């Protein structure tokens, strides 16, 4: 079973990488980009075959390692 985790900074947390991308896009002539938020995608290949158990395991992984839950939020998709 595969899982995809999308991790993003929580709203209100400064995103310097996103701001650098927004600035670079403007420098390249892409006007009208008012904001950019950058995150990460993590894909996991799991041995678990039960979707509910897989989702619970991946959420535990996020809480313990994959996301800094103080400043980041995450979304889990079981594929």
* Residue 77: partners with Cβ closer than 8 Å, 6 or more residues away: 3, 4, 5, 6
Q: CA 7, 39, 46 angle in degrees (round to 5)? A: 40
Domain that holds residue 25: 2-78
What would the pLDDT profile of 15-51 be if each residue is shown by its tens digit? Answer: 999 999 999 999 999 999 999 999 999 999 999 999 9
pLDDT reported for residue 46: 97
What would the pLDDT profile of 43-70 be if each residue is shown by its tens digit? Answer: 999 999 999 999 999 999 999 999 999 9
pLDDT reported for residue 17: 96
Rounded (to 5) percent helix, strand, coil in the chain = 35, 30, 35
pLDDT reported for residue 69: 96
In the chain, the number of structural domains is 1
Looking at residue 27, which CATH number applies to its domain?
A: 3.30.1280.10
Distance between CA atoms of residues 59 and 67, nearest Å = 10
């Amino acid at each position: 079973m595969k899982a995809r985790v999308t991790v993003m900074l929580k709203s209100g947390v400064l995103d310097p990488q996103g701001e650098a991308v927004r600035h670079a896009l403007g420098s390249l002539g892409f006007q009208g980009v008012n904001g950019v938020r950058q995150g990460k995608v993590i894909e996991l290949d799991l041995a678990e075959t039960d979707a509910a158990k897989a989702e619970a395991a991946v959420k535990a992984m996020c809480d313990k390692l994959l996301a800094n839950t103080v400043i980041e939020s995450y979304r889990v998709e079981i594929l």
